[in-house]
Amino acid sequence: MKPIRIGIVGAGSIGLRGALQHLSVGDYADRVVAGAICDVTPGRAQAAAQKFGVPQAFEDYEQMLREGDIDAVTICTPIGLHFDQGMQAIEAGKHVHFNKTMTVTLAEADALIARAQEKEVRLVASPGEVLRPHNTHIRRLIEDGELGQLIWAATGAGFGTYHEGEGVRQGDDVLQNIDPSWYWNSRGGGPLYDMTVYGLHALTSVLGPARRVTALSGIAIKERTFKGKTSQTGCDDNTLMLLEFQEALYAFVYGAAAGSITPFGAPVFFGTKGSINGDMLNGQPIVVPGFEQMQSGRSNSMLPHVTGQHAVIGEEAHVWEDIMQLVDWVRDGVPSPVTAEHARHVIDIIESAYRAAQTGQVQELQSTFTLSTSQ
């Protein structure tokens, strides 16, 4: 079987660091290659193609879907664009990897999943926190009663100025001057869709689907300035929510304008016999069987395709892993545990939290998903 030819949709931060940087290593070239790249910014796709050895470059997405020599796409554009671009790819018969999050609403996620099934197109949706052996091991520790009765959990992230400081935004050339303002002024922006999504995927990878959510949410930082340009904040940047998983089992989840009280992407769990905080169980390091030499239980090097140079590169290696989940599914026919259904449930949580904050009413979640028993 020939390698899967993948089109990179967007040569921004994730497209450059998560897709192109890892695809250009070439160690999996018998299974996947970069077939084309598209970006609407004049000259950016061509510059990225030249730098990373991609044979085709486009400024028009529909043209890439029509004329590009590709079998699949990885969508690396702002979150608010994911639904339309994903649906276009599905209609064109292309398999799709979505960078987080897959969509902004539950209805959009439902539509993508249904149409992909009709077209027999595969969907993988980041972030694949369910793949991390650390999360699988924590789930088993809890199931085995290591924490006694589980009482509550917490996870989240603080926005801060992380995106303003990324290296791909500090220069003047077309690959180094990427504008981050969509993160705080467009549909799909804000810390929940962009950062807290990691903790929510990890939390639900351990506890399974949630039942209900309530929240408080608003805009804390009214305007932001980047390279002398000031723009108004157009999406909530400060949200605190409570999730219910089962009777009297709750989780506190936050997407804050600044500050953090939990490790990024790693939920904290509290039970009647102790707690799990990051890599520690009751103050002692958690050792995941088969990964005893790893210093951190959440090391990207524990992911199956983050080997060799990919582990050395480090940054956005989890994106590379999720791309390879799609590649392996298409080539080998074995479904990935990084499912669109799991991503849909997390989207349901986020959308419902915003609705709860607007209405002052607890929201019943409408979606669910099934955790793979092999994970």
Cβ-contact 266, 202 below 8 angstroms: yes
Architecture of the domain delimited by 130-302+339-364: 2-Layer Sandwich (3.30)
Tell me the three state secondary structure of residue 110: helix
Residue 260 pLDDT greater than 60, yes or no: yes
Residue 310 pLDDT greater than 70, yes or no: yes
Give me the pLDDT at residue 299, please: 86
Give me the pLDDT at residue 102, please: 98
pLDDT tens track for 331-366: 999 999 999 999 999 999 999 999 999 999 999 999
* Distance in angstroms (rounded) separating the CA atoms of residues 32 and 20: 12
Residue 375 pLDDT greater than 70, yes or no: no
Q: Which whole-number Å values give the CA distances from 62 to 45, 85, 120, in the listed order?
A: 14, 9, 20
Choosing among 3.40.50.720, 3.40.190.10, 2.30.40.10, 3.40.50.10420, the CATH entry for 4-125 is 3.40.50.720
Both structure tokens of 259:
């500050």
E strand or H helix that includes residue 353: helix 340-359
pLDDT tens track for 18-71: 999 999 999 999 999 999 999 999 999 999 999 999 999 999 999 999 999 999
Query: Which residues lie across from 285 on neighbouring strands?
Result: 280
User: Which segments of 182-222 does DSSP mark as H helices, in order?
Assistant: 182-185, 191, 197-207
Residue 93 pLDDT greater than 70, yes or no: yes
Query: Are 4-125 and 130-302+339-364 in the same CATH fold?
Result: no
pLDDT band at 1 (very low <50, low <70, confident <90, very high): confident
Give me the pLDDT at residue 57, please: 98
* Distance in angstroms (rounded) separating the CA atoms of residues 184 and 163: 10
Mean pLDDT in the chain? 95
Give me the pLDDT at residue 246, please: 92
pLDDT band at 373 (very low <50, low <70, confident <90, very high): low
- CA angle (114 as vertex; 111, 115 as ends), nearest 5: 85
pLDDT tens track for 135-163: 999 999 999 999 999 999 999 999 999 89
Give me the pLDDT at residue 233, please: 95
Residue 185 pLDDT greater than 70, yes or no: yes
Residue 374 pLDDT greater than 60, yes or no: no
Give me the pLDDT at residue 135, please: 96
pLDDT tens track for 97-140: 999 999 999 999 999 999 999 999 999 999 999 999 999 999 99
Give the rounded percent of residues in the chain with a pLDDT score beyond 90.
91
pLDDT tens track for 266-289: 999 999 999 999 899 999 999 999
Residue 372 pLDDT greater than 80, yes or no: no
Domain boundaries, the chain: 4-125, 130-302+339-364
Give me the pLDDT at residue 314, please: 80
Global confidence as pTM: 0.97
- CA angle (88 as vertex; 327, 36 as ends), nearest 5: 50
Residue 202 pLDDT greater than 90, yes or no: yes
What mean pLDDT do residues 182-188 have?
A: 92
